């Protein structure tokens, strides 16, 4: 994750994400810099939002492996710029792949990996967070213009999911990667 641009997360919290690949990632990261200069976060789709976990790392990995063992790789399509009503986070909505991301969250958000989440899980890619309320509409409009101007691919394959830990303030360290099952063509 390498930073969340203001998303308040505690040191040593854990999260599960899929990083957006290039060239789409580059576009999103440039847009995030334009919206919030100094943002160092990598663009990603979150499956388990940041959470404290009081179990050994090997137990975390084991539970993730078990939960992801039969999960097939899937394609995610990023659709339109939206704003969450309560948090006012500006984000790209997910079309194709929404149900798959939601299913992964439901499979993994239980037992030792469960925690009280601030919001219901809703697959998305964050563009800006923790904005001054007076600036949200202007930021969303800028993001919509840039997204409309973007002519590249708007979808990507999720075939690897990454476990990360916030080891310093907004400094996310990769702890492991989990390959999803890629269907074999007949």
User: pLDDT tens across 92-135, in order?
Assistant: 999 999 999 999 999 999 999 998 888 899 999 999 988 999 99
Q: What is the DSSP letter of 57?
A: H
pLDDT for res 146: 97
Residue 162's pLDDT is: 97
Cα-trace Rg, the chain = 16
Average of per-residue pLDDT across 60-82 = 96
- Torsion angle defined by CA atoms of residues 103, 106, 111 and 116, in that order, rounded to the nearest 10 degrees: 150
Averaged pLDDT for residues 160-165: 95
φ and ψ at residue 112, rounded to 5 degrees: -65, -20
pLDDT averaged over every residue in the chain = 90
Give the whole-angstrom CA distance, residue 177 versus residue 121. 21
Q: Could you give the strand order of the β-sheet that contains 160-168, starting from the edge strand earlier in sequence? A: 44-51, 14-19, 160-168, 171-179
**Span 136-162, pLDDT tens digits:** 999 999 999 999 999 999 999 999 999
Q: Are the CB atoms for 96 and 75 separated by under 8 Å?
A: yes
C-alpha span between 87 and 96 (Å, rounded):
24
Given the candidates 1.10.150.80, 3.30.365.10, 2.40.40.20, 3.90.1140.10, the CATH classification of the domain at 14-179 is 3.90.1140.10
User: Average pLDDT in the 160-171 region?
Assistant: 85
């Amino acid at each position: 994750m390498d930073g969340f641009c203001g998303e308040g997360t505690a040191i040593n919290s854990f999260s599960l994400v899929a990083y957006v690949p290039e060239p789409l990632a580059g576009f999103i990261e440039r847009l995030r810099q334009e919206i919030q200069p100094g943002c160092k976060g990598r663009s990603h789709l979150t499956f388990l939002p940041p959470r404290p976990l009081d179990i050994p790392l090997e137990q975390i990995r084991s539970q993730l492996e078990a939960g992801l063992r039969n999960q097939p790789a899937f394609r995610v399509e990023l659709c339109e710029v939206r704003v969450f009503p309560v948090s006012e986070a500006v984000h790209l909505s997910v079309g194709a792949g929404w149900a798959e991301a939601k299913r992964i969250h439901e499979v993994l958000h239980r037992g030792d990996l469960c925690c009280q989440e601030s919001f219901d899980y809703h697959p998305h890619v964050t563009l800006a967070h923790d904005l001054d309320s007076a600036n949200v509409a202007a930021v969303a409009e800028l993001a919509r213009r840039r997204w409309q101007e973007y002519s590249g691919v708007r979808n990507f394959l999720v075939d690897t999911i990454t476990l990360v830990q916030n080891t310093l303030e907004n400094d996310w360290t990769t702890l492991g990667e989990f390959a999803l099952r890629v269907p074999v063509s007949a």
